[in-house]
Structure 1
Amino acid sequence: MPFFRLLMLAFPLLELASLILLGDRIGVGATLLWVLGSGLLGLVLIQRQGFSMLQQLQLKMAENRSPFAVLKTGMWWLLAGVLLMIPGLITDALAVPCLVMALLNKGRPAPGEPGGPGVYKQGGNTIIEGEWKPGEEKSVEPDQRIDRQ
């Protein structure tokens, strides 16, 4: 717990130090423009993707389909927007992988949707298809098997 507290104290100081170094390198005006630009970009991301995500969620729920893919993509957009709104270079650098993940997950189907992993019920169990790799099989107790009758 003390490590987490030190980290929470050190993080704003590191962000401030990075902005001071950037201001020294490219100038105060350009640094202020960077902070304002990244903040506005974060705000735009949150607004646009938030409304889009709400509309897609309502559509999925009305069609009685899984909202998992929409929530997953929306979470990455929201996290990237929040990180961009926080002034500093470290959070801006952390927002880039979030944007990449949002773009990668944008068109992926959720489990049970056409093109995604299949979901079906067998007995009282829900089965989600996955990948199997050959290797050493583990013995499974009879009461934990899916094909029990």
Structure 2
Amino acid sequence: MGKLFLLFVGLSLLELTVMIQVGTVIGALPTVILIVLTAMIGSSLVRSQGLKTLMEAQQRMQVGEMPARELMGGMMLALAGLLLIVPGFVTDLLGLLLLLPPLRSRLADKLVKGVRVQGAMGSFQSQGPYSPSSQLREESSTIIEGEFERKDKE
């Protein structure tokens, strides 16, 4: 908890320092306009890339694969949106970096590798012999035929 507080205070002080420096160079009103403009442009970029990521995740789910990379990318897009909305140039720079698809996919790959997922089929690693797609293949190879009768409780 203490580290998070220090990070928040440190980032706030850094943002204020950079805003004051930029304000002395270009003026107060252009600085405010620039901060608002980056928030507007960033939110539209996050929206468009978020829709693309959502469509990619749906395609992966349709073929029976777990969209872990897309989910991680979506979380990073949400973080990018938050960073772009927060007033300041440092957070805007960090948010814009997270909007770059090559950097985001590299980070997503690193974060997904070794993530342990708990699903309906039990616990499995995101990659390897216990991935969701391999478990689906194993389960689909065994066919059990039978009849059933539904009895609703009244």
Q: Partner residue of 1:99? A: 99
2:51 match: 51
TM superposition score normalised by structure 2: 0.57
Paired amino acid for 1:42: G
Residues 4 and 61 of structure 1: CA distance in aligned 2, closer, same or farther (over 3 Å) = closer
After the TM superposition, which parts of structure 1 deviate over 3 Å for at least 4 consecutive aligned residues? 1-4, 108-111
Whether contact under 8 Å (2:42, 2:96) holds in the other structure is: no
Moved more, 42-51 or 69-78: 69-78
In the other structure, the counterpart of 1:79 is 79
What CA distance in whole angstroms lies between the structure 2 residues aligned with 1:21 and 1:12? 14
| Partner Cα separation in structure 2 for residue 58 and residue 97 of structure 1 | 25
Deviation at 1:2, TM superposition (A): 4.0
Listed as ranges, the matches of 1:16-27 within 5 Å are: 16-27=16-27
| Identity percentage of aligned residues | 31
Q: Distance between the aligned counterparts of 2:8 and 2:99, measured in 1?
A: 24
8 Å Cα contact 1:46/1:82 also seen in 2: no
Matches for 1:1-149 after TM superposition, within 5 Å: 1-100=1-100, 102-104=101-103, 105=105, 121=129, 126=130
8 Å contact from structure 2 (residues 61, 67) kept in 1:
yes
Query: Unaligned regions of 5+ residues in structure 1, if any?
Result: 112-118, 128-149
Higher fraction of helix: 2
Cα distance, 1:64 vs structure 2? 0.9
Contact 2:46 2:77 in 1 (8 A): yes
Change (3 A) 1:60 1:92: same
RMSD: 3.1
Q: For 1:96 and 1:58, locate their aligned partners in 2 and report how far apart those are by CA, in whole Å.
A: 25
Conservation of the 8 A alpha-carbon contact between 1:45 and 1:77:
no
Which whole-Å CA distance do the structure 1 matches of 2:128 and 2:6 have between them? 48
TM-score (normalised: structure 1): 0.59
Q: Deviations for 1:4-45, whole angstroms, at most 9, x for unmatched residues?
A: 434423432331232122111111232122101110122112
1:120–1:16 distance in 2 versus 1, CA, 3 Å = closer
Matches of 1:86 and 1:56, distance apart in 2: 28
> Number of aligned pairs?
114
